[in-house]
């Protein structure tokens, strides 16, 4: 992009995402209601920096790029059983479905596809799909962790089908390891997958350790950074500069995709991490700067977790500003990580460099 050209960031949203009803579950429609209310209160949709885009509905054939046919049918039938307001649960019992959930899940995957399309068609420079249900815990064969279909994986497969898109890099910043996305691409080298999350020894889903680096053709193309409880912005920024940025630049992707979970914020009810509002914005800003160098600034994001609704709204708005190259509106006091935490993560970085050193230079 030429410096004089104006950047426009797409916001993909539809009120139909609120029809995935989950009762008293933490993954509720209130997350998107609060987010869209704040976006409107701040007049972002009247700004020339942002534009609202309507999501398409993904087809079942597009879902099959990633998921087993039996899994898709199970989600459809479970949703049908919820007729009349009788909420149902999928698989492990942690993913709630209402009567409308199957169709809304298709719309969530379609929203992710819409983000990629809008960028490649030149409508926007970057995009954030504000969708639900989330997706990054769903693998090829099972829905789990509040996720029905893996919106991110479908987004990546769609991008790879487009002309001149041969390599896609995914970053996943959430309290929880993006285990479903990791599983789907674990043996492939056309997708680089990076996840930072709370250490699996103290947080669901109990995976995402430094020695999980991919296998076969995909060895070295999965990068997991398990953060110790209490990790703050400064730890993440050091890991970004020493591990993430060098790997992403060397991979030289044609498109960068991001799964955004707002539950790593210190105020989230599920969180053991301590990111700040500006920490999220700066994290995404770093990936946008990589995209500016590698792939004409192409960054498409999709929403994952985050369960304190006012914080989700502020984090999303900060990230939208980061994508648009604007000053972050929400900044809070942020303290440094303690010496023990810093020492732990420096040791972790040494381990990561050793595990990944066969493929990447640090």
Q: Report helix, strand or coil for 265.
A: strand
- For residue 52, whether the previous peptide bond is cis, meaning omega lies within 30 degrees of 0, is no
Pair 141, 125: CB distance under 8 Å: no
The boundaries of the domain holding residue 236 are: 9-356
The answer to whether 265 is a known catalytic residue is no
Element containing residue 341 per DSSP (H, E):
helix 339-356
CA distances in angstroms from 329 to 39, 233, 323, listed in the order given? 12, 17, 13
Model confidence, pTM:
0.96
Q: Is residue 1 part of a domain?
A: no
Q: Is residue 91 part of a domain?
A: yes
Pair 328, 17: CB distance under 8 Å: no
Q: Report helix, strand or coil for 253.
A: coil
CA 194 to chain centre: 10
Q: What confidence score (pLDDT) does residue 185 get?
A: 99
Query: Mind listing the pLDDT tens digit of every residue in the chain (362 residues)?
Result: 444 456 899 999 999 999 999 998 999 999 999 999 999 999 999 999 999 999 999 999 999 999 999 999 999 999 999 988 889 998 777 899 999 999 999 999 999 999 999 999 999 999 999 999 999 999 999 999 999 999 999 999 999 999 999 999 999 999 999 999 999 999 999 999 999 999 999 999 999 999 999 999 999 999 999 999 999 999 999 999 999 999 999 999 999 999 999 999 999 999 999 999 999 999 999 999 999 999 999 999 999 999 999 999 999 999 999 999 999 999 999 888 999 999 999 999 999 999 999 999 99
Which of the 8 DSSP states describes residue 147?
Answer: B
Q: Is residue 362 part of a domain?
A: no
Number of domains the chain contains: 1
Which residues lie across from 10 on neighbouring strands? 51, 127
Q: What CATH number is associated with residue 63?
A: 3.40.800.20
Give the active site residue among 67, 137, 177, 345: 137
Which DSSP string corresponds to 317-344?
A: HHHHHHHTT---S-----PPPPHHHHHH
Token pair, residue 281, equals 């914005």
pLDDT per position as a tens digit, 4-23:
456 899 999 999 999 999 99
Q: Is residue 2 part of a domain?
A: no
| Phi, psi torsion values for 275, nearest 5 degrees | -65, 155
Q: Is residue 290 part of a domain?
A: yes
Q: Is residue 298 part of a domain?
A: yes
Q: Is residue 197 part of a domain?
A: yes
pLDDT per position as a tens digit, 49-73:
999 999 999 999 999 999 999 999 9
Helix boundaries (H) for 186-308? 233-239, 245-251, 277-294
Q: Report helix, strand or coil for 38.
A: helix
Q: Is residue 257 part of a domain?
A: yes
């Amino acid at each position: 992009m030429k410096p004089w050209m104006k950047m426009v960031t797409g916001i993909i949203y539809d009120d139909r995402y609120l029809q995935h009803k989950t009762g008293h579950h933490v993954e509720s429609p209130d997350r998107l209601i609060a987010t869209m209310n704040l976006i409107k209160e701040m007049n972002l949709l009247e700004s020339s920096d942002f534009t609202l885009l309507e999501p398409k509905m993904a087809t079942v054939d597009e879902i099959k790029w990633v998921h087993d046919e039996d899994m898709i049918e199970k989600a459809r039938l479970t949703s049908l059983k919820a007729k009349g307001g009788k909420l149902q649960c999928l698989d492990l019992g942690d993913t709630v479905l209402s009567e409308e959930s199957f169709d809304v899940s298709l719309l969530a995957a379609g929203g992710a596809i819409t983000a990629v399309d809008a960028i490649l068609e030149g409508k926007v420079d970057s995009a954030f799909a504000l969708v639900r249900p989330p997706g990054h815990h769903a693998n090829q064969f099972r829905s789990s962790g509040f996720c029905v279909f893996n919106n991110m994986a479908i987004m990546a497969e769609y991008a790879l089908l487009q002309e001149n898109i041969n390599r896609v890099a995914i970053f996943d910043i959430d309290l929880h390891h993006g285990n479903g996305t990791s599983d789907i691409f674990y043996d492939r080298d056309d997708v680089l997958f990076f996840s930072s999350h709370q250490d699996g020894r103290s947080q669901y889903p109990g995976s995402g350790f430094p020695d999980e680096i991919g296998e076969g053709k995909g060895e070295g193309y999965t990068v997991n950074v398990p953060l110790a409880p209490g990790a703050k912005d400064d730890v993440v920024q050091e890991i970004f500069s020493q591990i993430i940025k060098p790997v992403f630049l060397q991979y030289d992707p044609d498109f960068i995709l991001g799964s955004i979970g707002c539950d790593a914020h210190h105020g989230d009810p599920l969180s053991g991490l301590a990111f700040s509002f500006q920490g999220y914005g700066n994290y995404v800003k770093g990936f946008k700067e990589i995209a500016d160098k590698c792939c004409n600034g192409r960054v498409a994001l999709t929403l994952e977790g985050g369960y304190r609704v006012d914080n989700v709204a502020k984090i999303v708005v900060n990230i939208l500003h980061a994508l648009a190259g604007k000053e972050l509106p929400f900044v809070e006091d942020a303290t440094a990580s303690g010496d023990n935490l810093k020492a732990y993560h420096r040791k972790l970085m040494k381990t990561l460099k050793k595990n990944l050193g066969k493929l990447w230079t640090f």
